[in-house]
Amino acid sequence: MRFILAKDATDVSQRAYDFIRKSILQNPSLILGLATGSTPLELYKLMISDHKRGNLSYKKVKTINLDEYVGLPEGHPQSYRYFMDNNLFNHIDIDKNNTKVPKGNAINLDKECEEYSSFVSTNRPDIQILGIGSNGHIAFNEPGTSFNSSTHIVKLKDSTIKDNARFFENESEVPQQAITMGIKDIMSAKMIILLATGSSKAEALYRAIKGPITEDCPASILQTHPNTVILGDHTSSFWIRVNREPE
Ligand code: GLP
């Protein structure tokens, strides 16, 4: 695991984009694992603006997303499919048939989970972008999730529902369940880039990087991944910078 202290959120995004850009130039058919949430938004803006300047094509790139809420139709403004279409896919030259997001409204969710994991194992992401939840979750793998998990349905923790309520009219509208790639799926990526910005991530980031490897902090498993880069800004990296445990 490599930790890079970036200047600020813009620098975090720029550095992540530099990895992606270089990798797509080397391999135009790259498989890119993508994340939702507010943290990667600036990265997606950089991808769009550089694409519009004619510098990078996504024609052959394939993408695989981490997770989706259960029960929201694909066109729902808070569904992760809608998020990805509107914040990235609609603005670059990617073939939408090459973009995969779990179907949270599948009639048979168990089958969807099984098929998603099997898809990931035959399409191992070359680069997986990750954010981190304030409780250390990655994708929707909440604390306590087995490190051996494949794609599954999860009941969201109250803290996650509260964190994500800002995107909904009110907290009661946040779905209680999600479908998420499991930790084993995520760890199968050849390279992982985790982005963390803002003080609300400081404790989780410390535990992920310096804490014990424990299912209580799902992101701590990344310490065992052979090619993970963590990009943190000054606020998210507070406890790492002062080199002591969060109080
Ligand atoms: C959600 C997503 C995660 C994301 C996390 C943090 O729970 N499922 O993939 O990393 O939120 O989101 P944000 O970047 O908005 O803080």
Q: Where are the chain's structural domains? A: 2-241
* Band of pLDDT at residue 10, cut at 50, 70 and 90: very high
Check if 35 has its Cβ closer than 6 Å to any atom of ligand 1.
yes
Active site residue 142: yes
**pLDDT of the residue at 247:** 84
- Across 76-94, average pLDDT: 97
pLDDT in tens, 176-195: 999 999 999 999 999 999 99
| Closest among 206, 148, 153 to 177, alpha carbons compared | 153
Share above pLDDT 70 across residues of the chain, in percent, rounded to a whole number = 100
The CATH architecture that domain 2-241 belongs to is 3-Layer(aba) Sandwich (3.40)
- Across 49-71, average pLDDT: 97
**Mean pLDDT for the chain?**
96
- Across 11-15, average pLDDT: 98
pLDDT in tens, 106-131: 999 999 999 999 999 999 999 999 99
Gap from CA of 37 to ligand 1 centroid (Å)? 4
**pLDDT of the residue at 95:** 98
Query: Which atom of ligand 1 has the smallest separation from the CA of 132?
Result: 10
Check if 121 has its Cβ closer than 6 Å to any atom of ligand 1.
no
Residue 201 backbone phi and psi in degrees, to 5: -100, 0
Query: Which atom of ligand 1 has the smallest separation from the CA of 198?
Result: 16
- Across 135-140, average pLDDT: 96
| Least confident residue range of 80-89, 158-167, 194-203, 224-233 | 158-167
Q: Whose CA is nearest to atom 10 of ligand 1?
A: 131
**pLDDT of the residue at 74:** 81
